[in-house]
Amino acid sequence: KQEVTQIPAALSVPEGENLVLNCSFTDSAIYNLQWFRQDPGKGLTSLLLIQSSQREQTSGRLNASLDKSSGRSTLYIAASQPGDSATYLCAVCHTNAGKSTFGDGTTLTVKP
């Protein structure tokens, strides 16, 4: 059974800092890994998708890496802004279907 863990559970940083969020998974036979952002009471916004054959993906100030052999992914946020404050979720899809296992998320607060 796939288990996904995200560390830390919460993180508070001053504006402008670079930061790293971690995601680990127990079964390395994954199809893809996706990072999401969720604002309070809202749905999930897709940030980055990494297919199992890829090592990293970049979008603006965000960079996500994937190391299947060690069961790890990181989300790097450069030059953080108060608008980045949200919960970040990592989801692992381990079959070629729309079924993902989610971590519990990291709640990020960026202070002005």
Partner 1 sequence: KAGVTQTPRYLIKTRGQQVTLSCSPISGHRSVSWYQQTPGQGLQFLFEYFSETQRNKGNFPGRFSGRQFSNSRSEMNVSTLELGDSALYLCASSLEGNYEQYFGPGTRLTVT
| φ/ψ of residue 15, rounded to 5 | -55, 140
Distance CA 28, CA 31 (A): 9
Nearer to partner 1, 80 or 86 (CB): 86
Residues 57-96 that bind partner 1 (CB under 8 A): 89, 91, 93, 95-96
Which residue carries 């990072």 as its tokens?
A: 35
Question: Under the criterion CB under 8 A, does residue 98 sit at the interface with partner 1?
Answer: yes
Stretch that binds partner 1, among 22-30, 58-66, 72-80, 103-111 (CB under 8 A): 103-111
Structure tokens belonging to residue 58 = 């970049």
Question: Under the criterion CB under 8 A, does residue 41 sit at the interface with partner 1?
Answer: yes
Q: How far is the CB of 37 from partner 1 (least distance, A)?
A: 11
Q: How far is the CB of 19 from partner 1 (least distance, A)?
A: 22
Q: How far is CA 30 from CA 27, 37, 56, 81, in A?
A: 7, 21, 15, 32
Number of shown-chain residues binding partner 1 (CB under 8 A): 26
| φ/ψ of residue 24, rounded to 5 | -130, 150
* 60 contacts 8 by C-beta, under 8 angstroms: no
Q: Which residues contribute to the site for partner 1 (CB under 8 A)?
A: 31-32, 34, 36, 41-46, 49, 51, 89, 91, 93, 95-105
